[in-house]
Amino acid sequence: LDGETEGSFTLEIKETEGDTTIAEATFAAIPSTADTQVIMDFPDGTIEHAEPLIIDYDGNGETDLSLEPKIGEVVTTEQLDTIPPTTTLSFSGTQGANDWYTSDGIVTFTATDNENGSGIDKTEYSFDNGTTWNLYTDLFTISTEGETILQYRSTDKANNQEETKTENIKIDKTAPEAKISFNKETQKLDISGTDNLSDTSVTILEKQELISTSKKTKKIKDWFPHWYKKHKKNLPDSLAIITDQAGHTTSLSFEKTKDRDGFIFVRLLSIGYDGEETTLKDTETQYQWKIDKQENYRFFASSLKAGETRLESRYFSKKDETRIMEKPKYLKEDNDEENDSEDNDKRPSKTKLPGMVIPYLESEKGEIGIKY
């Protein structure tokens, strides 16, 4: 049908067999202009299986109205679809903690229109706060770590557009890394976690806690029962567990060779990411110090080893400088710092740094490095 002027039209349809009317339907008071184009298809020649009356009101090639015929009833524009569709988002990935996912995930949109509605025309999504809208044609994958803001909406064939919805998808596929250092305020070994996406927390279990077979201890992490069974006959002196907000864990087991006032000597035995453990060899840290009554450091030294790499540092309080020694050695537990400082003042150093600098061990993808 072609429109001829501004106004409205009525379309009556009858399906007959001989002189008998089998079915009839009416569309009444349908608005039109001189540009209006109307199409209706009858695939099998019956009203029952007829396609909707498709109305392009302004003749621009897009559907403005879609009206389903109703046998024995009159359809008017008052019965038009005015309700926007509803879209739901499904994200399938490995669920972590605190609404984080620990893997790539697949996004699927499902759009539904209201009963007797005009049907879904399109679903769109945006990654840039609605500046660019992408037409959804099939499921897609999000693999970027961090927080991804995804907006989406659907439009039905009556041009009812859903209010934009927003989903914050958080992905963290990487366990945290560890830093092992001397805390000059507490004179204790500090273990901390670093994560590129979220904060971390540290739990330290001493040997007596590891010996315990309580359910509370074994349920710290899913991998812990397997780890405990593996190490039960030869438990380390302590186990540090670093956890990020997504639920990833990095575990460090230690042997405390010496741990007393003024001297710490600790060996790092293993590192594990989400339960996948790697045994470490020749990874250890020594710290030696003495402070005066005003809690100023009169003497401080460190000797750290990670595989083939060793580093020794010496702090000279009178000059307020730290020297990284050229030929690093183990520290002697019974050092007299005054004689030792005099002796070490004559030793060659490859670097001189202002103030008291404390070297430390840091992990990176299963490897342990020395930094300062």
CA 21 from chain centre, in angstroms, equals: 65
* Residue that wins the pLDDT comparison between 212 and 315: 315
Q: pLDDT tens-digit profile of 295-349?
A: 899 999 999 999 999 999 999 999 999 999 999 999 987 655 544 555 666 778 8
For residue 339, the model assigns a pLDDT of: 45
Q: CA separation (Å) from 317 to 170, 194, 267, 287?
A: 48, 31, 28, 16
What value does the CA radius of gyration of the chain take, rounded to a whole number of Å? 37
Question: How far is residue 176's CA from residue 271's CA, in Å, rounded to a whole number?
Answer: 11
Question: How far is residue 140's CA from residue 137's CA, in Å, rounded to a whole number?
Answer: 9
Mean model confidence pLDDT for the chain: 91
Q: Is the pLDDT of residue 267 over 80?
A: yes
Comparing 69-83, 163-177, 253-267, 290-304, which segment has the lowest mean pLDDT? 69-83
Q: Is the pLDDT of residue 123 over 80?
A: yes
φ/ψ (deg, to 5) at 33: -135, 180
Q: Is the pLDDT of residue 117 over 90?
A: no
For residue 150, the model assigns a pLDDT of: 98
For residue 338, the model assigns a pLDDT of: 47
pLDDT band at 252 (very low <50, low <70, confident <90, very high): very high
pTM above 0.85, yes or no: no
pLDDT band at 219 (very low <50, low <70, confident <90, very high): low
Q: Is the pLDDT of residue 133 over 80?
A: yes
DSSP 263: E
Q: Is the pLDDT of residue 259 over 80?
A: no
List the one residue out of 249, 248, 250 whose CA is nearest residue 173: 248
Question: How far is residue 216's CA from residue 203's CA, in Å, rounded to a whole number?
Answer: 13
* Residue that wins the pLDDT comparison between 151 and 58: 151
Q: pLDDT tens-digit profile of 143-192?
A: 999 999 999 999 988 788 999 999 999 999 999 999 999 999 999 999 99
Mean pLDDT of 214-230: 79
Beta-bridge partner residues of 83: none
For residue 29, the model assigns a pLDDT of: 86
Q: pLDDT tens-digit profile of 34-55?
A: 999 999 999 999 999 999 999 9
φ/ψ (deg, to 5) at 77: -70, -15
Number of Cβ within a 10 Å radius of residue 137? 8
